[in-house]
Structure formats: C-alpha cells, structure tokens
Amino acid sequence: MKKVLFLCHGNICRSPMAEFVMKKLAAEAGDEDTLVIESAATSREEIGNDMYPPAQRCLRSHGVPFTHRRARQVTQEDYDDYDLIVIMEEYNRRNLRGVLREDPEGKVRTLLSFAGSDRDVVDPWYTNDFETAYEDILEGCEAILEQIQKGIL
C-alpha cells in the first residue's frame, strides 16, 4: 500500500485537483485498492472550505469525479504516515518548513519533478488558468502512477 499526500497553499485548488485526478487514474488502472490518496494545505487560510468552484468546474469538464471535502492543514503525523508528499511549487516547500521543519526521509517532492521537469504548477487562484493547472497536474500524476507501477516509488 502506497500513501500519497498532495499539498498546495490552501488545499482548495491544486492539491484537491491532484487528489481526484490521481484517484481517477488509479481507478482506471485498477490500482485504487493499493493507493491511499489525499490532499492538504501548507497554510491555515482555507481550513474547512470545500474545493474552489472553478477547480470543481475544471475537473467536471474533464470527467474527473470528486466529492465534497474540507481543506485541512498538513501535520507532522502526515509526514510519518505518508510515503510520498507531493508539493505543487517550491513556495509550498518553504511554507511546509513551519510544520515539518525537515524532510529526513526525502518524502517531499514537487509534482512535475516526477515528469522530469523543474517547473511549478502555477497557482490558478492567481492566474485563473485552471486548464493549464489541470494539464500540469495530469502530467505529474500520470508520471507518479507509472513510477509506482514500475516499482520505482
């Protein structure tokens, strides 16, 4: 069983999009029973809020099912519990230091690093470009799933 936690700043746009994209990919591959996939925030700003409506619309337009959820902040217990902590951008790593302080097991990686890129998934909260965020998230999630299936992760 692999446990993957996606993180972004508020847990209302990119990380829940990644959570539900990854769940869909895992289900299509028949791997939903071997993966635990969730998301959280590095900040406390949106705690308790559901996924941002434009993010929901973007997922719906791509046929990605999602459920009602409440944003939550990552904890030190999450670090201990998850095998992989996937951040959307380097800014998330800096924010994460306030919660985790360090990453002794090397669990924290940027999403697009799995696809061989050093690009960040740009925050659609500011750009209003949910489509580009979706495409980047899909690319990263497909790469993660492929590496898990090949036993690399």
Predicted confidence (pLDDT) per residue in 77-136, tens digit: 999 999 999 999 999 999 998 888 789 999 999 999 999 999 999 999 999 999 999 999
Mean pLDDT of the region 18-31:
98
Write the CB contacts of 58 (distance below 8 Å, at least 6 apart in sequence).
Answer: 17, 130, 131, 133, 134
Q: What is the mean pLDDT of residues 32-36?
A: 95
What's the pLDDT at 100? 87
pLDDT value of residue 101: 79
Is the separation of the CB atoms in 34 and 3 below 8 Å?
Answer: no
Catalytic residue status for 31: no
The answer to whether 8 is a known catalytic residue is yes
The single residue of 13, 78, 93, 123 carrying the catalytic annotation is: 123
Superfamily of domain 2-149, CATH level 4: Response regulator (3.40.50.2300)
The single residue of 8, 13, 58, 141 carrying the catalytic annotation is 8
Concerning whether 72 is annotated as a catalytic residue, the answer is no
Q: How is the chain classified by DSSP, letter by letter?
A: -EEEEEEESSSSSHHHHHHHHHHHHHHHHT-TTTEEEEEEESSSTTTTPPPPHHHHHHHHHTT---------B--HHHHHH-SEEEESSHHHHHHHHHHH---TT--EEEGGGGGT-------HHHH--HHHHHHHHHHHHHHHHHHHHTT--
Catalytic residue among 13, 14, 78, 136: 14
Q: Is the pTM of this model over 0.85?
A: yes
Return the domain boundaries, the chain.
Answer: 2-149
